Amino acid sequence: MRPAALASTTGAGEPAWVLHVDLDQFIAAVEVLRRPELAGLPLIVGGRGDPTERAVVSTASYEARAFGVGSGMPLRIAARKCPEAVILPVDAPAYLAASEAVMAVLRELAVVEVLGWDEAFLGVRTPDPVAFAHQVQEAVFAATRLHCSIGVGDTTVRAKNATDFGKPRGVFTLTAANWLEVMGERPTRALWGVGAKVSARLAALGVQTVAQLAAADVEPLVAEFGPRMGPWYRDLGRGEGRAHVDPTPWVPRGHGHETTFQTDLADRAEILAAVAALAERVVDAIGREGRPAVRLQLKIRYAPFFTVTRSRKLPAATAERADIVSAAVRLARDRIEPDRPIRLLGVYAEMAPPE
């Protein structure tokens, strides 16, 4: 279904809009489609579905979120917060298939920039973006039985932030005209692209709200964040950003694998063997890309829950298995602290850009 009378990707004379489509509680919703009897129940998806194992929550249904369960929370804590929840294992192939079905629908309607499994930007020219957004919702639901929320904006930044006000199953519009009215008094953490660390650094400069960031002097921001990121954060406070959608297929910068150990690793030989095994999997992944690795990064989570990353540039770009695995092991040997139990390890390889 294409609402052609309402929108066009190329129509001259009509205003251009960016829509941010975000599937509501996507993973939980896919599981409910497969198990309709779970509808309305608190549902948690994570790990192998066993809260006695070390794993984190991938998603929680709205019913589970009401108990304080959130993504990234240790599964055992989630089970404690919501003991009546149904806990299911992660089924990545099922979610990928559902995502591809949704993106196929969106591509019939507009220019699409995929952001992840459950979200995308749409670029359209239309006199009525809200009506178009509602038709997008109807088309997605008709094809997949999945609900989505949509943010409408005149930039990608405003569209992305608008979605939060439309959840669940709604549509909300943020433009230059109402940006500060809606967002001005909210904390900088509410902005897309500002996390806890950046908001704390902004607060140290006396910038705590979106309106304060929008009006901030750029010099202190440059001194704190650098000549590129300083002005970028001020623009973010003003809701400024791209006004177009880029449909270029996403090309990964790298590949990585990580694992959480059910029992902390303390033996040095076991730790290095685990790093080597992860590096082997990374080599397989970058081999499918046909691009060499240029940098390795090691993620280490020490017990009980302290995470650090360590990285090193490779002497030369390489896709050779032995070179990458040995470099990962050397990085681990040099940078992992001795005598500290480890609960998680990850190896990530940054690849050379495509030619």
Domain extent at residue 168: 16-26+95-174
322 CB-near residues (< 8 Å, 6+ apart): none
Instruction: Give the mean pLDDT of the chain.
Output: 94
pLDDT score recorded for residue 252? 84
What is the end-to-end Cα distance of the chain in Å, rounded? 37
Tally the domains of the chain.
4
- Is residue 20 domain-shared with residue 141, that is, in the same domain? yes
Structure-block tokens of residue 319: 């896709």
Which residues of 66-132 form beta strands (DSSP E)? 86-88, 111-116, 119-125
* Domain assignment of residue 247, yes or no: no
- Is residue 170 domain-shared with residue 206, that is, in the same domain? no
- Is residue 22 domain-shared with residue 49, that is, in the same domain? no
d(CA 167, CA 156): 17
- Is residue 137 domain-shared with residue 86, that is, in the same domain? no
Q: What is the pLDDT of residues 171-212, one digit of tens each?
A: 999 999 999 999 999 999 999 999 999 999 999 999 999 999
**Are the beta carbons of 268 and 324 closer than 8 angstroms?**
no
pLDDT score recorded for residue 291? 93
- Is residue 162 domain-shared with residue 120, that is, in the same domain? yes
- Is residue 233 domain-shared with residue 334, that is, in the same domain? no
- Is residue 147 domain-shared with residue 195, that is, in the same domain? no
Class of residue 174 by CB neighbours under 10 A (exposed 0-12, middle 13-18, buried 19+): buried
* Domain assignment of residue 245, yes or no: no
Please state whether the peptide bond connecting residue 252 to the residue before it is cis, i.e. omega within 30 degrees of 0: no
Identity of residue 247? P
* Domain assignment of residue 318, yes or no: yes
Domain closes at, from 120, 142, 174: 174
What 8-state DSSP symbol labels residue 209? B
* Domain assignment of residue 7, yes or no: no
Mean pLDDT of 1-29: 73
CATH number at residue 218: 1.10.150.20
- Is residue 272 domain-shared with residue 343, that is, in the same domain? yes
Q: What is the pLDDT of residues 305-355, one digit of tens each?
A: 899 999 999 999 999 999 999 999 999 999 999 989 999 999 999 999 887
Between residues 13 and 120, the one the model is more confident about? 120
Structure-block tokens of residue 339: 């005598």
- Is residue 341 domain-shared with residue 289, that is, in the same domain? yes
* Domain assignment of residue 243, yes or no: no
108 is catalytic: no
Q: Which of 31, 119, 240, 350 is catalytic?
A: 119
**Are the beta carbons of 44 and 85 closer than 8 angstroms?**
yes
12 pLDDT band (50/70/90 cuts)? low
Q: What is the pLDDT of residues 211-253, one digit of tens each?
A: 999 999 999 999 999 999 999 999 999 999 999 999 998 788 9
What predicted TM-score, i.e. pTM, was given to this entire model?
0.83
d(CA 279, CA 318): 13
d(CA 47, CA 344): 14
**Are the beta carbons of 276 and 337 closer than 8 angstroms?**
no
**Are the beta carbons of 121 and 129 closer than 8 angstroms?**
no
- Is residue 73 domain-shared with residue 101, that is, in the same domain? no
Q: What is the pLDDT of residues 69-79, one digit of tens each?
A: 999 899 999 99
- Is residue 21 domain-shared with residue 104, that is, in the same domain? yes
- Is residue 266 domain-shared with residue 332, that is, in the same domain? yes
- Percent of all residues in the chain with a pLDDT value above 70, rounded to a whole number: 96
* Domain assignment of residue 130, yes or no: yes
Tokens 């005209």 found at:
177
Q: What is the pLDDT of residues 114-147, one digit of tens each?
A: 999 999 999 999 999 999 999 999 999 999 999 9
Domain closes at, from 123, 145, 174: 174
